[in-house]
């Protein structure tokens, strides 16, 4: 099973049990820019009461749920981790927090077609903002690619407003500044 097949299976399972979600992380940034390698997929689920047992049954024995909920320190969310047996791939199911930005990006999510499935992902602006929050080297690369590929269609007012509220104004300015690669 490859990661795309595993993601499609999780989407089917979440839909079957009636849980709203969005695919975030590298897959949402790749949708808006360029492909890159990744060994995991991240979802935000719109419930605190995810029926993990039912979802586990629907997914089948190739998916191994870590029975322990874990706390994600960067985003302040709890999550379940799922191992896809026989592969290096993992899927993380983050719970939607009550933080205003988390709520906003979930409300603004959009439905696209990915892997021949209807999939909910964050808007391009929300991908940029979330990647600026995480601020890891791969996130900075993702922001640069997403900004370059979507520069003409970005909602600059939305980006600047949330960057200010999240304390990311300087990070957004650095991300939008022209880069001189000749140095």
Domain count along the chain: 1
CATH number of the domain that residue 159 is part of: 3.30.460.40
State residue 182's pLDDT score. Answer: 47
Using H for helix, E for strand and C for coil, what is the string for 12-24?
Answer: HHHHHCCCCEEEE
Q: Classify residue 87 by its DSSP letter.
A: S
Torsions phi, psi of 103, nearest 5? -65, -45
Determine, yes or no, domain membership for 59.
yes
**Given a cut of 70, is residue 113 above it in pLDDT?**
yes
Say which residues have a Cβ less than 8 Å from residue 79's Cβ, sequence separation at least 6. 69, 70, 71, 72, 92, 93, 94, 95
Domain of residue 13 covers 3-176
Q: Is the dihedral of CA 170, 74, 42, 3 positive or negative?
A: positive
pLDDT confidence band for 76 (50 / 70 / 90): low
Q: Is residue 58 part of a domain?
A: yes
Q: Per the structure block, which two tokens stand in for 64?
A: 């191994």
What pLDDT score does 183 carry?
Answer: 44
Comparing 3 with 77, which gets the higher pLDDT?
3
pTM: 0.90
pLDDT tens column, 18-55 = 999 999 999 999 999 998 888 899 999 999 888 999 99
pLDDT of residue 36: 87
């Amino acid at each position: 099973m490859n990661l795309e097949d595993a993601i499609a299976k999780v989407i089917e399972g979440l839909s079957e049990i009636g849980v709203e979600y969005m695919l975030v992380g590298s897959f949402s940034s790749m949708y808006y820019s360029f492909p890159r390698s990744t060994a995991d997929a991240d979802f935000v689920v719109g419930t605190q009461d995810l029926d993990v047992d039912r979802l586990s049954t629907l997914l089948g024995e190739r998916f191994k749920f870590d029975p322990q909920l874990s706390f994600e320190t960067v985003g302040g969310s709890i999550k379940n981790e799922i191992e896809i047996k026989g592969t290096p791939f993992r899927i993380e199911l983050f719970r939607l927090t009550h933080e205003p930005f988390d709520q906003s990006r979930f409300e603004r999510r959009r439905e696209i077609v990915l892997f021949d499935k209807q999939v909910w992902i964050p808007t391009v602006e929300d991908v940029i903002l979330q990647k600026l929050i995480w601020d890891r080297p791969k996130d900075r690369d993702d922001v640069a690619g997403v900004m370059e590929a979507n520069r003409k269609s970005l909602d600059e007012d939305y980006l600047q407003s949330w960057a200010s509220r999240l304390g990311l104004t300087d990070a957004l300015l650095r991300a939008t500044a022209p880069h001189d690669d000749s140095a």
